[in-house]
Structures are given as C-alpha cells and as structure tokens.
Structure 1
Amino acid sequence: MAKLVSKVYGDALFEVAVESGRLDEIWEQTRAMQTALEENPELFALMRHPKIVKEEKVKIIESIFTDEVCAELVGLLRMIVEKDHFAQIGKVLAYFDDQVKEYKSIGTAYVTTAMELSDAQKAAVVKRLLETTKYVTFEMHYEVDSAIIGGMMIRIGDRVVDSTVRTKLYDLTRELSKIQLKAGECAP
C-alpha cells in the first residue's frame, strides 16, 4: 500500500510540475519541505494524533506551508491529510525526487570503499560512471567500511557492482568448499 500511495501522489505531482513548466521550482520546494519535515518530527506526531480531526490537520498544514511553497504542494499535502496518508509523505516526496532525477538523467551512486578516496580518485569514479551509464551527472554518496578489506562497491538504483576483497574471499571460500565436497564424494 505504501508504495502505491507514493507512486500515485508522486506521479501526480511530477505530471503537474512538468506540465506547468515549473519542475525545477517544485523540485526545490519539495526538497526544502522534506528537510523541514525531517527536522520537525512533532508535526508527524500531530498529524497522526487520533483526537485531532482532519479539518484541523488541514488547517495546520495550510498555516505552515501556504506562504512557503506553491499552491500545488499545499494541495497535495491537503489531499494526503484528507486521505489519511500523511505517514507516507516522506515516501511520496522521495518518489517524486527519484522521478525528477530520472527525467533529468541524474544518477545517484553509493560508493563504499575500505579507505577514504582522494579527490582525484573520486573524480575518476565519477568519470567512469558517466562513461558507462546513461546519466549526464551524478549525485555521489561515499562511505568508508574497513570490513570490505579493499576494493570498491558501487550501487546505482538496484544495480550493484561489488569488487571488494571481502566478496572475492567469500566467493573463493564457496568454490573451495564445493571442490572439497566433490573430492570427498569420489573417495572409496
């Protein structure tokens, strides 16, 4: 259900943004709204409180966001509150963000290495990703995890390229186990 809610509202907002020619403006406002919502968890508690009626919740949303974001976003929030889907607002905004990035050919890459990469190494990774994907630019997220021992793991969407030493050792161990099992089967 949550995925359906995010897709329905996210797609509707995306269509409105593209058709109105205000994609960049609405995208910027949704990002600001996401940040504001993340920084104010008490708003979520208020919107989920069972003793506050929907009409009051709508008034609260309108009083907070009317002067801050466009009418389309206020309307989206109003509809989400009226349909009791406010708990999904983060997913709706994230889905919209993903749609805009795909539309603009902006990739999001998560790179995990055993040691911190230098700026030159990071630039080389971005260059290689641009050469091997359809994206024209990347939003990069780097993480250091010494447990991978060496190498690099890159995740873009649901695709993962894993050339870490940890994974290679694991694969080698599995292959050796298979060989030992076969050798044990052949013994008289």
Structure 2
Amino acid sequence: MRRHPVGYRYAYAMFELAKEQGTLEATLEDLAVVSQVFEDSNLLDEGFRHPNITDEEKKNILTETFSGKVSTHVLHLLLLLIDNKRIDVLDPIVDNFKGLANEARGIAEATVHSAKALTEQEKSAVATVFAKRAGKAQLIIRNIIDADIIGGLKVRIGDTVYDGSVANQLARIQARMIHGNVSR
C-alpha cells in the first residue's frame, strides 16, 4: 500500500472511527460507492474544479447525492474535504482506508501475472499457498495475462515479488552462462 501523505491521515482517522464503532465493512463499502460515483460521473473533474461553483453548492450536491445512501461519517468526511479544499484527495483516502482495513482483517491483495487466464480453482490454489507465505489469512487475487512470461507465475504481494516464470528462469540460466557460473 502506498501511503499518500495527506490521504493517509484522513484514511487513518476514518479507519480508527470505523474500527471503534464496529463499522469497518460498512465504511469500506460506502467509500467504494462514493469512489465509484465520482469515477462514473466525472464529478471531480467536470464539476468540482469549476471556478464558479461555490463550496456551499458542492456540499449541497454531495448531501443530495449521498444522504441516506452512505453513513453520516462518510458524508461528513466528504463535507470536511470540501471545507479543507481537499476533495481531490478522495481516491488516495479510499485506497489507504482499504489498505488499513485489509491489514486489520488479515487480507492482502496480490497481482498474479500468468501466460493464460487462471481458472477459479487455480486462483484459489495460488491464494492458499501465497497467503501462508505472506502470513495473511486471505489473499485477493488479481490476474494479469502476460504472454512475455512464457509460463509459470509471477506473484506480487505488496513490495514482495515471487517470480517463478519461465522467462525469469531462462534469464537466470543465460546470466550464469555468460558469467561462467554453471553450478552442478
């Protein structure tokens, strides 16, 4: 998880509040809804950056849009971001909150590069094996098809990369042949 300097502070405060009130899952879902609405409507770029829209109008738009659809804490966060001229930090807040929530629940996200799409059974097997290696209770797999790896897998969990791809093995063999370090 990359920590955004400002976004992390807001996310951490929201995380502590959600944890204290036992609403971690609900807050995570609410933030995902807000993020999706902003992405789908392009509200941030087209609406909130317009110089003729006042902060009060922005707050009214947010209140009308999200009142009753998300928790009051998430709505208050949005209004606070308008007051502090930080609404452009919403995506890093959501990302950092998701990372904090996943960490608290023992969940990690993994990017798995493979030459072909993995089946659900293969994803499950990879998740089980690498969750143990990463010391996590659960692993959420995002599969990326990359024909350049030829075969095998390349798994990235946070900053750790497990590279068992055929392309990597060939590169290591080539390096040993070039340097004359052929081990038996």
Within 1, Cα distance between the matches of 2:143 and 2:158? 15
Within 1, Cα distance between the matches of 2:54 and 2:119? 54
The answer (yes or no) to whether the contact 1:48–1:87 under 8 Å persists in 2 is no
Within 2, Cα distance between the matches of 1:160 and 1:149? 17
So what's the TM-score if we normalise by structure 2?
0.88
The answer (yes or no) to whether the contact 2:4–2:96 under 8 Å persists in 1 is no
Aligned to 1:98: 99
Within 2, Cα distance between the matches of 1:169 and 1:154? 18
Structure whose alpha-carbon radius of gyration is higher: 1
Aligned to 1:35: 36
Which portions of structure 1, spanning 4 or more consecutive aligned residues, are displaced by more than 3 angstroms? 171-179
Q: Deviations over 1:77-120 (max 9, x none)?
A: 01111212111101111110111011001111111111223343
Alignment of 1:1-188 (within 5 A): 3-179=4-180
SS of 1:109's equivalent?
strand
The answer (yes or no) to whether the contact 1:109–1:156 under 8 Å persists in 2 is yes
Within 2, Cα distance between the matches of 1:120 and 1:65? 38
Within 2, Cα distance between the matches of 1:119 and 1:65? 35
Q: Specify the code of the residue in structure 2 equivalent to 1:17.
A: A
Could you tell me which runs of 5 or more consecutive residues in structure 2 were left unpaired when the two chains were aligned: none
Could you tell me which runs of 5 or more consecutive residues in structure 1 were left unpaired when the two chains were aligned: 180-188
So what's the TM-score if we normalise by structure 1?
0.86
The alignment's C-alpha RMSD in Å is: 2.0
Within 1, Cα distance between the matches of 2:163 and 2:88? 34
Pairs aligned (count): 179
Identity of aligned residues (%): 26
Within 2, Cα distance between the matches of 1:46 and 1:118? 41
Within 2, Cα distance between the matches of 1:14 and 1:118? 34
Within 1, Cα distance between the matches of 2:167 and 2:143? 18
Alpha-carbon distance change, 42 to 30 in structure 1, aligned in 2, over 3 angstroms:
closer
SS of 2:113's equivalent?
strand
The answer (yes or no) to whether the contact 2:155–2:163 under 8 Å persists in 1 is yes
Within 2, Cα distance between the matches of 1:31 and 1:145? 28
Q: 1:39: Cα distance to partner? A: 1.2
